[in-house]
Chain A
Amino acid sequence: MGGLEDVFGELIFCYCSLMAEVFVSGIIASARGFGDNRLSIRYQLSVGGGWRIVQGEGEGQTQTDCPSVFENAYFGHPIDLHLATSSIQGWPRLLIQIWHHDNYGRQEIAGYGTLLLPTSPGKHVLTSGCWRPKGNWREEMMHKLVGGGLQLTSLSALEDPTIREKIISVSAGTVRFELNIITKNFSRYGILS
């Protein structure tokens, strides 16, 4: 299966001179507002049908930052992506899960968020206000006293608004990404962005 994907990747690379491309170079900068902010962030790229990831990892996880000197968690986790597209629809989004690590080594979800990759070239600072699913009063009390809250069974809730609207959520903290975007061949297709 690896071989077939490589061939596919090569074909896509050859066609890239015709397709519009987007390059992303940036970092997951920081997160704040999640209690003691002992966090790691897991991200996943979600693209529409016309998009292909030519180079770069579509998903990743940062280190776990345990703030001691500052209040916020800082990651400095590089994100490098090369995407090619034949269509403007389904512009890529980053689906983010924020995991909290406590002193006993347990991990729980601290929040979910989404970020839309900017459509215009240049340097961008993106912040996402994150949320976590809200349980009933008993579940909330357990979460506060013992830890371990509700989790989504699949990230489709982050992609599909019709699923998302059914989930009652509590606002958590914010994450900050600093991304540089380079576009290629958009002007050839007459697209202004």
Chain B
Amino acid sequence: MEKSDSVSLTVHGNVRITEFPEESNVCVKLNTVAVGDWKIITGDTVALSSFSYRGADNRIFIDLPFECGLKGSSPFMWPRLVLNCFSKDTSGKDCVVGYGVLPIPTEPGKHICRVHCFLPEPSSIVQQMMAKLRGMNAEFVDPLLPANADGRYACRTSTRGYVDIEINVSIKSSETGYRFAPSASSEAKINNSHQNVPSSIADLAGIVAVGGEEHADIFGADSENETTRTA
């Protein structure tokens, strides 16, 4: 049984705001992690923002746009975004202030997700004081560790802040049978087929948010094709 690349995912997003109560400035590094069968076909895997300091209303805006196209043979191990957050101290040295992970939503459309970022706790009070004096927090050896569930149970962590990300997801599936969104749209289709009169422009053009529907095959799934032609 050959494994064809049957699911193609396009993500357009923007890292909007972040809040780390103990920090005066934050820089966010966004990694797109594709595990197993998934491959990144367009876009950069890493997006790095600038160091943003707090403004007059005491908030930190990151405003980092990113986009990525991925292809996989099965929805298992859906790609995820791993965030590394850094902060610059008064002497100009960077240190990590948080690690976070966000599984990319599998429902097509726009999502606003809040990712809480944690930092490993120092293992003793002495370590804690050393970290404060040197201005360097404990870091993970592998910055992409939050992407997986392995090896987490031994860690003690503390959550330092959160990042709000706006993500737009488009999915094209060459295999019928996958359902990514609740079937409110397919119920509308059942009603329409009884009347044989399209009730909206979307029905007329056959544009569907969910790939792999039978109607999409008839109309050629035009709206989904453009997302895979970004290269």
On A, residues with C-beta under 8 Å from B are 13-14, 17, 23, 25-27, 29-30, 40, 54-57, 60-70, 73-74, 76-82, 101, 120-123, 180-188, 192-193
Contact = CB atoms under 8 A, between A and B. Distances in A.
Contacts of A186: 179
B159 A74 contact: yes
Task: Report the interface size class on chain B.
Answer: 35 or more
Contacts of A29: 116
B98 to A, nearest CB: 10
Chain A binding surface SS class: strand
B13 interface: no
Contact of B78 (A180, A183, A187, A192): A180
Contacts of A55: 76-77
B179 A74 contact: no
A177 B118 CA distance: 17
Contacts, number: 140
A182 B178 contact: yes
Interface stretch (B41-49, B50-58, B149-157): B149-157
Interface string B98-129: 00111101110001000111100100000000
A67 to B, nearest CB: 6
Given A187-B177, A187-B179, A188-B177, A62 B116 contact: no
Interface of B: 1, 20-22, 74-78, 80, 100-103, 105-107, 111, 115-118, 121, 146-149, 152-161, 177-183, 186
B200 to A, nearest CB: 21
Given A183-B179, A187-B179, A69 B100 contact: no
Contact of A82 (B21, B74, B106): B74
| Residue from A68, A80, A181 having most chain B Cβ neighbours under 10 A | A80
A79 B155 contact: no
B179 A76 contact: no
Contact of A25 (B75, B111, B116, B158): B75
Given A65-B156, A121-B182, 6 more contacts: A54-B76, A55-B76, A68-B160, A77-B152, A180-B107, A193-B183
